[in-house]
Amino acid sequence: MSSEYHNHAKLMRQKLNEISPSFCLAKWSQVSLHLPQGLTQSCYHPPTHRIPLENLDKNPGALHNTVIKLHDRKQMISGERPDGCSYCWKIEDAKSENDESHLSDRHYRSSEWWAHPDFDKIVQNPLDENIKPRYVEVNFNQSCNFKCMYCSPHLSTTWEDEIKQFGPYEIYSETGFKTHNNLEALERKGLMPLKLSNKENPYVEAFWRWWPEIYRNLRVFRMTGGEPLMDKNTFKVLDYVNENPHGQLELSITSNMCPPDPKLFDRFISKVQAIEAIRTYEDKDNFNEHSGNHCYVDKGFKHFWLYISLDSVAEQAEYIRSGLSYPTLLKNLRRFLNETEYTTVSFINTLNILSIPKLQNFLELILELRREFGGRTQKEKFVNSPPSHGIDHPPILRRKFQRIWFDVPILYKPDWLSVQNAGKYGIDQVKKCIKFMEDNVQDENYSETLEGFKPYEILKLKRDLAIMEDDLPEQIKRINKLNFYLFITEYDKRKNKNFNEIFPELKFYLEECNVIYNKDF
């Protein structure tokens, strides 16, 4: 399956290029909604933009089909590269070992099971103003108990509280000093949440009017934040799915796994358990010919994904993600995997300069969890479901599946945390990690053991390495080092931390940054 995923992306690259060299299905089929601010984007790479309010009353589908997206779609069909999609263009333009460009998320996303079935439909009607997305990611609320160092007050109430208490961070640019995470600047850019409760928010209200219209068309629905377990809309969605089973829906949540009230995690697990319970229901959309007479015997969703942002391990992870308790995360993770059945966990290591020292330890954690929650592929019998409409349904046959996944997307903002600043040290460390992955690659019998790294996972880290090896201009590196010193020293001061004690491997880098700061100022 791992090689299939990579091969599907390669085939999709060829298919996309037959339409245009910049065509991407995600621009049509995927949407991220930031309802506290009234912002949207296609996938999570392009910058967000405002959702016009004037059309929402008559057409809640305007949450997705905005003028800006229609313009970007037109560009893609014409072979032009929308500026907002630079994340993929950088990857595709990076140096590779052969003449082929690197596979970007444009290829991987477009090849995924939820996207590619709409290929012909989109090509035939590319400027459809009311297209229903297959993949929806929604942020209902900015409430969060973390202050991840690369995050912002517009996505975390705890960050907002810190800035209100201490003020913004000071950073340097070619035109002089300026501020970072400045509430007034974020307000001017329209990034701060509306000064309204969720109950009064017109974007949240429009979403709930749109939700029944798009629900059956959905294949992936993902809730992010903030911390989604701190928002009642998250549990409203879970209840809706439980009451309206959707056997083709992949449901997911991105959680920090350390909610401020442990009872929220208890509630979350119980809701997932309720949806995944085997039940018999009548549903023509999900008709299974083997079940008979339009009766569908299954759980209430296709699958459940729990996404966890984790950029390192132990104390270094806690430094990057202020508010994290690493032992609590691991405890809740294992509890979730042990107490639910049809669920998968995927770690998101947003690769930044502070991820580098313990990157191999992170990969070792992935191996450990894959061994703990892997196992041999085998058919499993479940108890007979109760008769329905006079039909006795046979036991359902399942097989075990890969429950632990991860991704390593590169962090570009803020600039001073980018892995492109890591230089030879970072490049050497990533090369060692690639070697470690190659030494533990899944063999031909991976489908039986579900252990080891998948070939395409190794290719993704090699892709990141290629970007790291694309050296930055000296002036940009100098400014990034100045800002790294300014940010880290203030970060330590506010949080009573000691960077050199927690990151002894990067002590040399902070000293380099300090030398530049003292020389210039």
The 10s digit of each residue's pLDDT in 19-32 is 999 999 999 999 99
| C-beta separation of 502 from 315 below 8 A | yes
CA dihedral 263, 267, 270, 274 (to 10 degrees): 170
Q: At what angle do helices 2-19 and 455-468 cross, to 10 degrees?
A: 60
Residue 508 φ then ψ, to 5°: -60, -35
pLDDT (average), residues 390-401: 55
CA distance 239 to 30: 23
The pLDDT, as a whole number, for residue 444 is 66
User: How many C-beta neighbours within 10 Å does residue 147 have?
Assistant: 24
Q: CA separation (Å) from 473 to 359, 421, 441, 480?
A: 26, 11, 36, 11
Strand, helix or coil for residue 149: coil
Q: Strand pairing of 135-139 and 397-399?
A: unpaired
pLDDT tens for 407-427 read 999 998 999 999 999 999 999
519 pLDDT tier (thresholds 50, 70, 90): confident
Residue reference for tokens 């008709």? 287
Lowest mean pLDDT among 73-87, 157-171, 394-408: 394-408
Residue pair 53/38 in contact by the 8 Å Cβ criterion: yes
Query: In Å, how far are 40, 487, 488 from 150, measured between CA atoms?
Result: 20, 11, 12
Three-state SS string across 83-106, please?
HHHHHHHHHHHCCCCCCCCCCCHH
Q: Is 225's pLDDT higher than 60?
A: yes
pLDDT digits (tens, 9 = 90+) for 338-368: 999 999 999 999 999 999 999 999 999 999 9
**What's the pLDDT tens digit per position in 51-60?**
999 889 889 9
Running DSSP on this structure, what letter comes out for residue 388?
B
Can you read off the two tokens belonging to residue 293? 């007479």
Distance from CA of residue 27 to its chain's centroid? 16
In which element (H, E) is residue 372 found?
A: helix 359-372
Tell which phi-psi region holds residue 389, choosing left (phi > 0), alpha (psi between -120 and 50) or beta.
left
Question: What gap in Å lies between CA 64 and CA 42, rounded to an integer?
Answer: 8
Q: Closest by alpha carbon to 432, among 493, 505, 489, 350? A: 505
Rounded Cα–Cα distance for residues 511 and 515 (Å): 6
Q: What is the pLDDT of residue 380?
A: 45
Mean pLDDT across 255-265: 96
Cβ-based neighbours of 246, under 8 Å, separated by 6 or more: 215, 216, 218, 285, 286, 300, 301, 302
- Could you tell me the pLDDT band of residue 374, with boundaries at 50, 70 and 90? confident
Measure the CA–CA gap between 163 and 183, rounded to whole angstroms: 7
Token pair recorded at residue 393: 């349904």
Least-confidence region, from 190-204, 315-329, 356-370, 457-471: 190-204
Side-chain-side CA neighbours of 118 within 13 Å: the count stands at: 25
Q: At what angle do helices 423-439 and 455-468 cross, to 10 degrees?
A: 170
Question: Comparing C-alpha atoms, which of 306, 297, 294, 276 is closest to residue 373?
Answer: 306
Distance CA 39, CA 191 (A): 8
Distance CA 251, CA 257 (A): 17
Please give the pLDDT value at position 292.
45
Work out the mean pLDDT of the chain and round it to a whole number: 89
Distance CA 221, CA 137 (A): 6
Model confidence at 1, pLDDT cuts 50, 70, 90, reads very low
Token duo for residue 440: 């533990």
CA distances 509 to 311, 361, 425, Å, are: 19, 21, 9
Residue 158 and residue 242 in contact, taking contact as beta carbons nearer than 8 Å: no
Q: Which two tokens stand for residue 72?
A: 């970007």
Where is pLDDT greater, at 439 or 396? 439
